[in-house]
C-alpha cells in the first residue's frame, strides 16, 4: 500500500472507486467479496484524501512564494 500510494494515480484511484461502486450498485459482487471491495474503496478514498491534502499543502507552499514576490 505504501508503494501503491506512490504509484497509483489519483485519477486511476477514482476510476477504480467508480468501478467498484458500480459493481455494488449493479449487485455484481458476491456478498463474500463485498467487505474486501468496500475496504478497497475505503482505502482508495483515504489515499485520495491524503493526496488532496498533500497537494494542497505543496501548492500552498509554492503559492506562498509567488505571493511573496
Partner 1 sequence: MDNKLTLLELNQRIKETLNREFQSTYWVIAEISELKINRKGHCYLDLVEKDELGDRIVAKAKGIVWSYTFRMLKPYFETTTGREFKQGLKIMVNVSVEFHELYGYSLYIHDIEPSYTLGEIARRRLEVIKKLEDEGIIEMNKQLPLSQVPQKIAVISSKTAAGYRDFIEQLNNNPYGYIFYSKLFPAYMQGDEAEDSIIKALEKIYQYEDLFDAVAIIRGGGAHADLGCFDQYHLAANVAQFPLPVITGIGHEKDESVVDMTAHTKMKTPTAVADFFVSKAYEYEEKLLGLRDVVVERTNQYINLENQKLRNLYSQIYPNVKSILEKSRNILEIRKEKFLHIHRNFLNKKQQNLTAYSKKLVSSYELSFQKNFHELKNYERNIGNLVRNYMKSQKKHMENLAKAKEYLDPKNVLKRGFSITQKDNQTVKSSRQVKKGDTIKTCLYEGKLVSQIDYTEKEENIITGKK
By the rule CB under 8 A, 19 interacts with its own copies: no
Nearer to partner 1, 1 or 65 (CB): 65
* Sole binder of its own copies in the list 10, 18, 19, 21 (CB under 8 A): 10
By the rule CB under 8 A, 63 interacts with its own copies: yes
Q: Which partner, partner 1, its own copies, none, binds residue 3 by CB below 5 to 8 Å per kind?
A: none
Distance CA 38, CA 21 (A): 9
Distance CA 57, CA 46 (A): 16
Contact by Cβ (8 Å): 38, 25: no
Q: Which partner, partner 1, its own copies, none, binds residue 18 by CB below 5 to 8 Å per kind?
A: partner 1
The 3-state DSSP class for residue 9 equals: coil
Amino acid at each position: 500500500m505504501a508503494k501503491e500510494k506512490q504509484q497509483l494515480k489519483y485519477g486511476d484511484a477514482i476510476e477504480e472507486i467508480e468501478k467498484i461502486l458500480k459493481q455494488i450498485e449493479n449487485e455484481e459482487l458476491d456478498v463474500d467479496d463485498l467487505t474486501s471491495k468496500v475496504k478497497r474503496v475505503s482505502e482508495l478514498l483515504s489515499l485520495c484524501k491524503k493526496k488532496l491534502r498533500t497537494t494542497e499543502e505543496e501548492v500552498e507552499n509554492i503559492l506562498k512564494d509567488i505571493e511573496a514576490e
